[in-house]
Structure 1
Amino acid sequence: MNIKIRLTLMSFLQFFVWGAWLITVGNYWFATKQWSGEQFGAIFSTLGLSSIVMPAITGIIADKWINAEKLYGILHILGGMALFYIPQVDNPTTFYWVIFAAMLCYMPTISLSNSVAYNILKNNQFDVVKVFPPIRVWGTIGFIAAMWLTNLSGNKASANMFYISAVSAVILGVYSFTLPKCPPQKLIAENASLAQKLGLDAFKLFGTYKMALFFLFSMFLGGALQLTNMYGDVFLSEFGKVPEYANSIIVTKSTLIMSISQISETLFILAIPFFLKRFGIKQVMLISMLAWVLRFGLFAYGNPADGLWMIILSCIVYGMAFDFFNISGSLFVETTTDSKIRSSAQGLFMMMSNGFGAFFGGLVSGYIIDEFFTHEGARDWHSIWLSFAGYALVIAIAFAVLFKHKHNPKDVANVSH
Structure 2
Amino acid sequence: MHTIRMRLSIMMFLQFFIWGGWFVTLGTFLAQNLDATGSQIGMAFSTQSWGAIIAPFIVGLIADRYFNAERILGVLHLVGAALMYGLYLAGDFATFYPLVLLYMILYMPTLALVNSVSFRQMADPSREFARIRVWGTIGWIVAGLAISFAFSWDSPQAIGAGLLRNTFLMCAFASLILGIYSFTLPGTPPKAGTGGSSTLKSLVGFDALTLLKDRNYAIFFIASILICIPLAFYYQNANPFLVEIGVANPTGKMTLGQVSEVLFMLLLPVFIHRFGIKKTLLVGMFAWALRYVLFAYGNSGDLVFMLLTGIALHGICYDFFFVSGQIYTDAKAGERFKSSAQGMITLATYGVGMLIGFWVAGHITEYFARADGHAWQSIWLFPALFALGVFVLFLLTFKGKRPAKESVGTSPT
Q: TM-score range by the shorter chain?
A: 0.7 to 0.9
Deviation at 1:18, TM superposition (A): 0.7
| CA displacement, residues 297-330 of structure 1 (integer Å, 9 cap, x when unaligned) | 2112212344222212111112221233333333
Deviation at 1:140, TM superposition (A): 1.8
Question: 2:250 maps to what in 1?
Answer: 254
| CA displacement, residues 185-244 of structure 1 (integer Å, 9 cap, x when unaligned) | 63688xx8xx8366458302123224554443322222222312321223233335xxxx
Task: Classify 1:183/1:28 alpha carbon distance in 2 versus 1 (closer, same or farther; 3 Å).
Answer: same
Map 1:239-388; keep pairs closer than 5 Å: 239-240=245-246, 250=247, 252-337=248-333, 342-371=338-367, 373-374=368-369, 379-388=374-383
Question: 1:53 maps to what in 2?
Answer: 54
Task: Classify 1:164/1:60 alpha carbon distance in 2 versus 1 (closer, same or farther; 3 Å).
Answer: same
Please list every run of 5 or more consecutive structure 2 residues that lacks an aligned counterpart in the other structure. Answer: 155-162
Question: 1:243 maps to what in 2?
Answer: none
Letter in 2 for 1:224: P
Check the 8 A contact 1:225/1:354 in 2, yes or no: no
Please list every run of 5 or more consecutive structure 1 residues that lacks an aligned counterpart in the other structure. Answer: 241-249
| CA displacement, residues 101-130 of structure 1 (integer Å, 9 cap, x when unaligned) | 110011232344445545544xx034x1x5
Task: Classify 1:347/1:79 alpha carbon distance in 2 versus 1 (closer, same or farther; 3 Å).
Answer: farther
Mapped to 2, the partners of 1:120 and 1:135 lie a distance apart of 11
Task: Classify 1:136/1:286 alpha carbon distance in 2 versus 1 (closer, same or farther; 3 Å).
Answer: farther
Letter in 1 for 2:186: L
Task: Classify 1:272/1:186 alpha carbon distance in 2 versus 1 (closer, same or farther; 3 Å).
Answer: farther
Check the 8 A contact 2:60/2:203 in 1, yes or no: no
Aligned residue pairs, count: 397
Question: 1:11 maps to what in 2?
Answer: 12
Question: 1:391 maps to what in 2?
Answer: 386
Mapped to 2, the partners of 1:404 and 1:7 lie a distance apart of 41
Letter in 2 for 1:29: L
Mapped to 1, the partners of 2:411 and 2:265 lie a distance apart of 20
CA RMSD of aligned residues (A): 3.4
Mapped to 1, the partners of 2:309 and 2:38 lie a distance apart of 29
2:136 aligned with 1:139: yes
Deviation at 1:11, TM superposition (A): 2.4
| CA displacement, residues 339-383 of structure 1 (integer Å, 9 cap, x when unaligned) | 676554433332221222222111112223444x45666533223
Mapped to 1, the partners of 2:120 and 2:326 lie a distance apart of 13
Percent of residue pairs identical: 35
Q: TM-score, normalised by structure 2?
A: 0.82
Check the 8 A contact 1:277/1:412 in 2, yes or no: no
Mapped to 2, the partners of 1:292 and 1:86 lie a distance apart of 32
Mapped to 2, the partners of 1:317 and 1:295 lie a distance apart of 7
Task: Classify 1:285/1:73 alpha carbon distance in 2 versus 1 (closer, same or farther; 3 Å).
Answer: farther
In structure 1, the residue corresponding to 2:409 is in which secondary structure? helix
Mapped to 1, the partners of 2:13 and 2:264 lie a distance apart of 17
Q: TM-score, normalised by structure 1?
A: 0.81
Deviation at 1:97, TM superposition (A): 0.4
Question: 2:101 maps to what in 1?
Answer: 100
Deviation at 1:155, TM superposition (A): 4.3
2:145 aligned with 1:148: yes
Letter in 2 for 1:356: V
Question: 1:167 maps to what in 2?
Answer: 173
| CA displacement, residues 261-283 of structure 1 (integer Å, 9 cap, x when unaligned) | 23322322233333344344444
